[in-house]
Amino acid sequence: MTSEVALGRAGALLTIDLDAIVENWRRLQARGAPAECGAVLKADAYGLGAAPVGRALSAAGARSFFVAHLEEGIALRAVLDEPRIVVLNGLLPGLAADYTAHDLIPALNDPGEIAAWAGHARALGTALPGFVHLDTGMNRLGLSPDDQDRLAADPSVLDGIGPITWMTHLACAEDTGNPMSRAQLDRFHRAVARLPPAPVSIANSSGIFLGQDFHGDLTRPGAALYGINPTPDRPNPMAGVVRVEARILQTRRVDTPMTVGYGAAHRVKGPARLATIAVGYADGVPRAASGRGAVRIAGFTAPITGRISMDLITVDVTHIPETLAAPGALAEVLGPELTPDRLGESAGTIGYEILTSLGLRYARRYVGGVE
């Protein structure tokens, strides 16, 4: 199916390569071996569709999935029967039965959650699995050092929870020279040494590339699965996953002293030809990339000119043959050269934010996988 056909009535097309996601998971699995390689599917698999991504990864052999919210876990369980699904944001008050009803495992982030999950297990008369999150410096979620001391002094509060996985989360793993990662790892090992023996989970996407010391028993890659570079100081070891193509709606000739877009923010310096494209910040192209980002048209780079608006961007196509940059032609907004990382950099943000902001107005096309 051609991009033009797949577009249908939409202004732009988002193509998601499930085979590339599976290949990235396999690369990460090999890099972190012999640890099990899980998959983080929070935020609807970083905006790319938790159901199709989850099915493709499960078919490839992934057996541990992670989401942020309870509702995300419930939705994922509806399409995945066997793999374990861990809810990273923890156990919501009074809703323990919802987790067991959908066979979900909470990350236990504070003593109250541990007590509630253990109590629920005792009420059911069966052991319930749990990931116990030990904070080692992120200072976001997880048991504080004082909480860890109390748990080490009285591990009986864990009675009813099993099997247990000890987990932590790295704050600076993408910065390979930052000493914080090693400091966190040392804190984690000291904490775990005082607790009942159990598997451990440490590394996120970038953490996998810090070396075997960080692999533990289970890795938790997220962004790298979707093509984001987990090693920003080195070439990207991951396959590209997404392509965004948008229609050229109109072209026009302009000359000085004409201006372009809201706020008359761009003043034309000479004769030029502009193309207006059917994508904007409502579709995840950040307004902050105005005057800094670019698109690709028929192999040419066309810089964004003027402010990005909600539904439209305008690009300079003066140097592109008119037959190639004409109404109805497609401009590549994301792709092999214009990666989410690159667009994020042009907007002063990160590729993660680009993917999770892509929005609902695209025609979506999945290629490969089990779809």
Q: pLDDT per residue over 43-92, tens digit each?
A: 999 999 999 999 999 999 999 999 999 999 999 999 999 999 999 999 99
133 and 170 Cβ atoms separated by less than 8 Å: no
Give pLDDT < 70 ranges for the chain. 1, 370-371
List 42, 226, 281, 362, catalytic entry: 42
Domains of the chain (ranges; CATH) run 19-226 (3.20.20.10), 242-338 (2.40.37.10)
Tell me what percent of the residues of the chain surpass a pLDDT of 70: 99
pLDDT for the residue 3: 78
120 and 98 Cβ atoms separated by less than 8 Å: no
CA-CA distance, 154 to 149, in Å (whole number)?
9
201 and 131 Cβ atoms separated by less than 8 Å: yes
Tell whether 310 is in a known binding site: yes
Answer yes or no: 42 catalytic.
Answer: yes
pTM to 2 decimal places: 0.95
Answer yes or no: 262 catalytic.
Answer: yes
List 99, 226, 262, 362, catalytic entry: 262
pLDDT for the residue 370: 63
pLDDT for the residue 107: 98
